[in-house]
Structure 1
Amino acid sequence: MTADKQTPEAGGRVADAYRDNWVDRMAPRSLRPYLRLSRADRPIGTWLLLLPCWWGLTLSMLHDGRAVWHDMWIFAGCAIGAFLMRGAGCTWNDITDRHIDGSVARTASRPIPSGQVPVPRALAWLCMQAVLAFCILLTFNTAAITLGIVSLVPVCVYPFAKRFTWWPQVFLGLAFNWGALLAWTAHSGRLEWPAVVLYMAGIAWTLFYDTVYAHQDAEDDALIGVKSTARLFGPRTPRWLRRFLVVSVSLMGVSVIGAGAGASPLALLLALAGPIALGWHLQWQLTRFNPDDDAGLLALFRSNRDAGLLPLPFFAVALLA
């Protein structure tokens, strides 16, 4: 299943990008390879990085019963920062994986292995995105800034995880759910235990959706020796997905209880509907999981935007109860 490299003259479109995405249709031609490098043509990753931030912010507000105007900026700043840091992280991932990506059918068309972006320019693009994200981070309180800087550790380690562990999805979860800690702290000024439990719930969620995603590459990964939970679990994947579902929903429920301990009973009940809604969506995905259907796997993975959005209306309504 090894793919021939796609040349820039072939159009440059990445294999698993959305059809007719805004990058391919509207972006200046000179910027398209760099935006593809940041996965701007595949926005699901930005959502998966952003949603734990919004979980953390809303539950932090529920915890102290306080909402201020700066929370609106935290809400927006997390969205901008998620776009930038997802782009920087993907750029770093593609630089470190450039030799592996060229051997995998789904990733051979990415800008670096296909020859659209040289590594030195990719490094410059990475630095530009990281600097802009850091400027946004500086508008938060000192504790949140410190957390933001520490988050670079799992971001930098993740691309190498698949080389030394069967559980690289854990490292992805550590990086992608950091926003739950950061946004909670950006509102409250301190990191508290419900945020840590929420972070752990997000990691279990990541193990669920990225195991589904990794099944697309299982055959190629086996040929080149890349490790993943999809290869580790094999035919036992549905059983493991169910475990991740239960852990994610349970931990989010504990986090909600901790965050809403001082709220009214009605507010707590409304907030607890959030993890229930998440669990319902993950169960829906599980019933449709087919490891031999690559298009279906990609669709299920992308549906996790909706899964992660489902708790937010309940958290928001609980703030008003």
Structure 2
Amino acid sequence: MSGAIRLAVIGLGKIARDQHLPAIASSDAFELVATVSRDGARSDGIPHFEEVGDLAESNIGVDAVSVCTPPQVRRAVAQAALARGWHVLLEKPPAATLGEAEALRDLACARETTLFASWHSRHAAGVAPARAWLADREIRSVRIAWREDVRVWHPGQAWIWQPGGFGVFDPGINALSIITHILPRPLFVTAADLEVPENCAAPIAGTVSMCDSAGVNVAMELDFLQQGPQSWDIAIETDAGTLRLAKGGAEVSFPDGRQPPAENDGEYPALYAHYAELIRAGESDVDLAPLRIVADAFLKGRHRQVAAFIE
């Protein structure tokens, strides 16, 4: 494919406005040609449609889409796009269930179109240096603390508490996307304790215990009601000391105190650079390891009812 990739953004919620649209605007690889949203949100000067079918029936040429809807409707939207031969980027999590994500992967393969199950936190500045440093180390334990205030980061987003909305795992899956990328062996959930508000279908806090195939313990703490300082931290103890990732992977500290400079312009610009590379190469990137861990935590977890969540 030569020239700019003609891109439509489907779903214009907070993440699309805050991250996707600015990243697309700064990219030479993409041209934003349309937006789709049922709630009336739109980008100034860009053709807008309420349904994917309306876009398909227009005279606008589309090569690719970015699907930024809530996960509960993501499969249907992505399926319609893939059926039309459009390349598809899925905001995380890629779907509401593993089965949906696997079906989209198979459809993209059959249609010979690119499917990118994107994990933006893997493109945080500290992740690549951390992965390279850990490659030659013996890992002894991992601790994850992901604590943020849902009222600050997800205001008014009722879908996050509904079935398929993930609750605290919506941010927590970012941590899982990092550790499944930088650790050398697959992870398995051994136990989970999930706190579910009495008026919600998804957890608001919890812990997840994991181990890798060599028996290394990985402990995760999640809290969606954190007040004061927010924390998105990972500490990995190795035979050469403790490596620390902070601010969601944006900062890495090696045991000797070194902090390497950032090697990219931000998570979402790097995400779109990778999306363009995949399309040009005719390839897909559909790693479902983070989603599988969330599914296993729901399956193996103890679900405890706690006080109602009132925004």
Bigger helix fraction = 1
For normalisation by structure 2, the TM-score amounts to: 0.30
For normalisation by structure 1, the TM-score amounts to: 0.29
